[in-house]
Structure 1
Amino acid sequence: MEALALTSVTFATAISNLIPAITFILSFLFGMERLNLRKAAGKAKIIGTMTGISGAMLMTFYKGVEVKMLSFHINLFNQRNGGGSSHGGGGLFLVGAVSSFFFNASYALWLIIQAKMSSAYPYPYSSTALMCFMAALLSVIFTFCVERDLSQWKLGWNVRLLTVAYAGIVVSGVMVAVTSWCLRMKGPLFVSVFSPLMLVVVAFAGSTILDEKLYLGSIIGSLLIVCGLYLVLWGKNKEIMKNQLVPICHQ
């Protein structure tokens, strides 16, 4: 069961790393991105996207030797034993894999829709407030259908309250507003290419705070992700500069 759970997490993580590729394909189909294989900027975007995905896959599937780092270790969850027991079988693995794929495809599609909406409604704060309100309403309805014990809804002065506050303020509030602003300024590919960077932050933060082991594959994968990110940003910057010079040349 532990091996199955590890495989499920690994597969879900690998699928989540495909967000830049899915977003690039959707952006191309909707006419928001161009290949421009004859230009250096177009080649940089494609190579950078593939490099970032390769680095994320390397972090997911390859460990290598353990790397010792000078760090402080804080056991936030007071766990003395390994991960908890896992339940389920191949059916749950398939459901999890399919759900993970559709979630990431939906997130990539949301970036496209949000970019289109931002051009017609360039007000990230009010649009974020509307999205958060609708998400909260749907979450309450769904939770009442699943969990009707009101005692489970109570929040005390513990890590649950901190988790809910962080998810509501930072993840659902600040992050969506900043994402909407970036989508309007740079486009969906620019935003999606930062997704694998989360693996880098989690890997180094986990080894520093949660007493997790850091492996050579994580370091090499992190370098590839950063290099891929730089290539995409360089390519997008070249395209933006070219688009700004075209109207001036016509004048």
Structure 2
Amino acid sequence: MVVVQIVYAGMNILYKLVSENGVNLRILIAYRMLFATAFMVPLALIFERETRPKLTWLVMFQAFLCGLLGGTLAQNLYFKSFSLSSATFAVAMSNLNPAITFVLATSVGLEKPAVGTLGGMLKIAGAVVGIGGAMLFTLYRGVKIDLWSTPVDLLHYDHHQQHVAPSHPGSSRHVMGTLFCLASSLSYAMWLIIQAKMNERYPCLYSGTALICTISFLQSIVFALCTERDWSQWKLSWDLRLLAAAYSGIVCSGVVVAVIAWCIQARGPMFVSIFNPLSLLIVALVGSLVLEEELHLGSILGAVLIVCGLYMVLWGKSREMKMINQPEPSKSSQESQSQSSEIATASAINNNNYGNYRSIKNISSNSLTTLSLAIDGDSS
């Protein structure tokens, strides 16, 4: 999982570089989904040829919404924030995903937190702490924290010796970047809830992933064509643009899904989740060293609160799952009502990196456990 977080950190840094170099990120996302589709479709044909259930119109509609909310919309909003803020800020905000998903699921009645239990109180407190950390990160700057200087300046090189002033907390660009990040997190949370429903009808990892990637690719192509008519922007050559598209599509949306699947099967979803803040640490260090990103006291305090909120939600969810797995007299109506909320919140906890996700369903004689897998990234 350390390698997975390094891979995601590399993706975020690559996208920051190409965004500052004038590359149209909408076109880049379309190419990314093309590479992801080309990678996932053969896997679906090879490994799930005999096990795929029938594809219904309802599943197709759910896949369309998943591709839109979890792919096209979420990624365009997320990476748009890169050009308005910093890579460190965007990655830090992505750790709010579990808290936002919990709040959304609660507001629509899918999640009913047990306020009288420690698990329920931890989830509520974690959501409050995480959102408070995001506000602190956005509104408070504080003193500048100097780590160490290096002669490497990738953004300076990309702009041909033209210095790019970073976006500071409190500036209009930074506030807009915050709004884009929050909108992306909301889109991501809505997608997780819809995905949980889709997984019940179509529990196929590779086939479902390939279907969502294909739909998201078509949506991204249409959106990019509507916003960019300069055909020179669509040309791929042996440069950073091709590297970012291939790396994020094949590695982050393809290879990483197998690694995460193996880790979840071997150690469980909570083991996977605890490594998510590592990507934030890597991006913050690399960004301050080679991207001329400034670290301030407010940024560090806000990031710490966001990560603390994440772990509080994880801890609360872990305690709730232990209580659910304990044998007790069952009430079929309560189990039916709470199943969707447990799936949706568990999916948000398992993965915070923006992009597309899928689920593995392990069926035993006593339980049905839905585990969400990241096939993206950055988120993220």
Judge same fold: TM > 0.5, yes or no: yes
Q: Does 1:207 align with 2:285?
A: no
Deviations 1:71-111 (A, max 9, x none): 64632231433438xxxxxxx99999987665443222101
- Report the 3-state secondary structure (helix = DSSP H, G, I; strand = E; otherwise coil) of the residue aligned with 1:246: coil
Quote the offset at 1:44 in angstroms: 0.5
Aligned to 1:49: 127
Q: 1:244 aligns with which of 314, 325, 334?
A: 325
Q: Does 1:23 align with 2:104?
A: no
Aligned partner of 1:24: which letter? F
Q: Does 1:226 align with 2:315?
A: no
Q: Distance in 1 between matches of 2:135 and 2:151?
A: 27
Aligned to 2:136: 58
Aligned to 2:338: none
Aligned partner of 1:55: which letter? G
Aligned partner of 2:311: which letter? Y
Note if contact 2:99-2:126 (Cα within 8 Å) is conserved in structure 1.
no
Aligned length: 233
Q: Distance in 2 between matches of 1:143 and 1:49?
A: 34
- Report the 3-state secondary structure (helix = DSSP H, G, I; strand = E; otherwise coil) of the residue aligned with 1:33: coil
Note if contact 2:129-2:309 (Cα within 8 Å) is conserved in structure 1.
yes
Deviations 1:109-134 (A, max 9, x none): 10111122224333232211111111
Change (3 A) 1:40 1:226: same
Q: Distance in 2 between matches of 1:176 and 1:56?
A: 28
Higher relative contact order (CA 8 A, sep 6+): 1
Unaligned runs of 5+ in 2: 1-80, 166-172, 332-365, 367-380
Q: 1:161 aligns with which of 242, 255, 270?
A: 242
Q: Distance in 2 between matches of 1:205 and 1:165?
A: 21
Q: Distance in 2 between matches of 1:101 and 1:216?
A: 22
Deviations 1:17-76 (A, max 9, x none): 865454223312455432211111111011111112222222222121111214646322
Q: Does 1:105 align with 2:186?
A: yes
Change (3 A) 1:123 1:158: same
Matches within 5 A, 1:45-194: 45-70=123-148, 72=150, 74-77=152-155, 78=157, 79=159, 80-83=161-164, 102-173=183-254
Quote the offset at 1:170 in angstroms: 4.3
Aligned partner of 2:286: which letter? A
TM-score by length of 1: 0.71
TM-score by length of 2: 0.49
Q: Distance in 1 between matches of 2:276 and 2:138?
A: 14
Change (3 A) 1:16 1:62: same
Quote the offset at 1:244 in angstroms: 0.9
Computed over aligned residues only, the root mean square deviation of the Cα atoms, in angstroms, reads 4.4
Aligned partner of 1:129: which letter? A
